[in-house]
Amino acid sequence: MGCCNEPSVALPQAGQNPAQHVNYTKGMVLGVDDFTQEFTYLANRDQWAIRELLGYGTISGLAITIDDAGVDDGPRLHVTRGTAAVPSGKLVCVPEEQCALINKWLAKAENKDKINKLIADTLPPLPPPVTKFKLSLYLALCYQDCKTMPVPIPGDPCRSDDQLMADSRIADDYCLELRTEAPSQIEEDALRDFVAWLKKMPLIDTGSANEESWATALKTAVRLSLDTMKNSPAPFSSSVLFEKLRAYLFDTVATTKLEIPREHVSSFLRVAFRFWVTNLKPIWASCSCNTIANPSQDCVLLAQLEVPIISVDGVWIVNDKAVNGEFKNIHIDESRRPYLASMRLLQEWLLCGFASDPSNPVTLPQSLTKISKPSFNGITTTGGVQIAIKTVNADLTLDATHHCVICNGDITITLPKCAIGNQGRVYIIKSQKETTRVHSATGDTIDGLEHKTLGIHRSFTLVSDGIQTWHIIETS
């Protein structure tokens, strides 16, 4: 029997490639492998977008508490329902609150072996055996899937019972587990370290933007650290490498002499963020080109639990008693938990910022630092205004922390250099007991003069034009 269609063949059975999708062609015979390949491609696109553009961590819920399950059962760990994205980009949903008895976990033979090994690796050999120990447990949420909904399938006669049915669905699932070792989250830790490093960058009042020198300095800082590790005689895993590098990888401001002019901070951040994306993130990335290095680490760390334990008749149990339903010696540390804030939350934050808390009023006057540079289109006050005031008895050079200066003695006050960084800065200077000399910086003037003298009980107010002149706008 003939056919008017072009000859076609099915794709060979092989492992699915998440970077390929089916090229549907007229006459193609589609099989299970083709549909699985198309699903693999589409699912991977979603996961790729989540992990590369959003990151991973807790999305909502998954709060952790501990209560008393009773005299015999001891402390009970609770995790509320919620959602998360794991490092591979898969979404995990915990639909109902979960709980676990810590003593039952400790009683399992495989966990007892882990604890004994941990003690042997942590403590020196002690003659008698260790009966008390402070155990660190890590609560991790991982993605799993499971096959479900078996249905009859056609096939050859004379099959066994297990060949008559096949699962028709693969359901998303999860695994909440306690571990003696934390899941690796190198990328999360590196990201936090990098941002903390950027916030320590020294800012200067004046200067020019030099993106090329910034990029060179950033690359040099990292290259020194990586070259040190390359010359080490022993090979290291990525996690060990990171722990050895993080102590000083992002602490090279002094050696690279990175100084950022205030007016060019945004330009520097563009360079720094590009440097993270192109140079640093590939080193620490959890996933690379659709592949996660270690599937057992495809988990989100929810918390670290510090649990005192004691051996009773060869069985480890929690060494703590509940007082009014609370365990005082079990500590929950969620500081390392990664989480994802929605774009809507961040949008509202950017639009509104902090709101004043009337129950916790701000202490005035507030100290002004070199990085404090507020600006206003207009401001209205309904109460008293407090400014920074300082009484001095010796010569003083003013800076951004000063505003009103009372001079007690025959002293000299030196103004800072007029620059774009202090344009509009105001100083009030009063001579209290003796005459006071006020000098401008080299190249600047005070209303055309290099210095001014204040008589006893006299004062004036000056403002910088940001170029080379301090203008006297009020005298008394």
For 395-453, the pLDDT digits (tens) are 999 998 899 999 988 889 999 999 888 888 999 999 988 888 999 998 899 988 888 88
Q: Is 468 contained in some domain?
A: yes
For 66-80, the pLDDT digits (tens) are 998 876 788 999 999
Beta carbons within 8 Å of 377's beta carbon, 6+ residues apart: none
Omega before residue 18 within 30° of 0, cis: no
* Paired sense of beta strands 436-439 and 331-333, if any: unpaired
Q: Is 349 contained in some domain?
A: no
Asked if residue 177 and residue 311 are part of one domain, the reply reads yes
Q: Is 219 contained in some domain?
A: yes
Of the residues 226, 252, 285, the one at which a domain ends? 285
Smallest CA-to-CA distance from 292 within 58, 85, 21 is with: 85
- Domain limits for position 318: 98-184+296-333
Q: Is 31 contained in some domain?
A: no
Cβ atoms within 10 Å, residue 136 = 17
CA angle 330, 331, 333 (to 5 degrees): 155
Residue 3 carries which side chain, given as an amino acid letter?
A: C
> Worst-scoring range by mean pLDDT, 247-251, 257-261, 329-333, 346-350?
247-251
pLDDT at 66: 92
Smallest CA-to-CA distance from 444 within 476, 468, 419, 463 is with: 468
Asked if residue 206 and residue 176 are part of one domain, the reply reads no
Smallest CA-to-CA distance from 245 within 189, 301, 180 is with: 189
Q: Region 22-31: what's the mean pLDDT?
A: 88
When the pLDDT of each residue in the chain is averaged and rounded to a whole number, the result is 81
Asked if residue 241 and residue 212 are part of one domain, the reply reads yes
Edge-to-edge strand list for the sheet holding 82-85: 57-61, 82-85, 91-94
Asked if residue 464 and residue 404 are part of one domain, the reply reads yes
Instruction: Report the alpha-carbon distance of residue 281 to residue 119 in Å, rounded.
Output: 35
DSSP per-residue letters across 200-212? TPPEESS----HH
Asked if residue 397 and residue 460 are part of one domain, the reply reads yes
Q: How far apart are the first and last CA of the chain?
A: 112
Residue 214 carries which side chain, given as an amino acid letter?
A: W
Of the residues 261, 285, 309, the one at which a domain ends? 285
Q: Yes or no: say if 168 and 149 are a contact pair by the CB < 8 Å rule.
A: yes
pLDDT at 427: 94
SS3 string, 324-347, reads: CCECCCCEEECCCCCECCCHHHHH
The number of helices, as runs of H, and strands, as runs of E, in the chain is 10, 25
* Paired sense of beta strands 165-179 and 287-288, if any: unpaired
DSSP per-residue letters across 366-424? PPP-TT-----S----SS-----EEEESS-EE--TT-SEEEE-SSEEEEPPPP-GGGTT
Instruction: Report the alpha-carbon distance of residue 87 to residue 281 in Å, rounded.
Output: 14
Q: Yes or no: say if 401 and 368 are a contact pair by the CB < 8 Å rule.
A: yes
Q: Is 54 contained in some domain?
A: no
Is-above-0.85 flag for pTM? no
Asked if residue 470 and residue 394 are part of one domain, the reply reads yes
Instruction: Report the alpha-carbon distance of residue 372 to residue 339 in Å, rounded.
Output: 29
Asked if residue 172 and residue 123 are part of one domain, the reply reads yes
Q: Is 272 contained in some domain?
A: yes
Asked if residue 329 and residue 268 are part of one domain, the reply reads no
Q: Which of 127-136, 275-284, 328-337 has the highest mean pLDDT?
A: 328-337
Return phi, psi of residue 7, to 5°: -60, 145
Instruction: Report the alpha-carbon distance of residue 463 to residue 471 in Å, rounded.
Output: 5
DSSP character at residue 157: S
pLDDT at 105: 93
Q: Is 140 contained in some domain?
A: yes
Asked if residue 174 and residue 244 are part of one domain, the reply reads no
Q: Is 463 contained in some domain?
A: yes
- The CA R_g of the chain, rounded to the nearest whole Å, is 33
Return phi, psi of residue 263, to 5°: -75, -5
Asked if residue 314 and residue 263 are part of one domain, the reply reads no
- For residue 249, what pLDDT band results from cuts at 50, 70 and 90? low
Asked if residue 271 and residue 319 are part of one domain, the reply reads no
DSSP character at residue 279: I
For 180-233, the pLDDT digits (tens) are 999 888 888 888 888 888 887 888 888 888 888 888 888 877 775 566 555 555
* Paired sense of beta strands 404-407 and 389-392, if any: parallel
Instruction: Report the alpha-carbon distance of residue 371 to residue 202 in Å, rounded.
Output: 9
3-class SS at 113?
A: helix
CATH, residue 461: 2.60.120
Asked if residue 178 and residue 104 are part of one domain, the reply reads yes
Number of structural domains found in the chain = 3
Instruction: Report the alpha-carbon distance of residue 365 to residue 404 in Å, rounded.
Output: 12
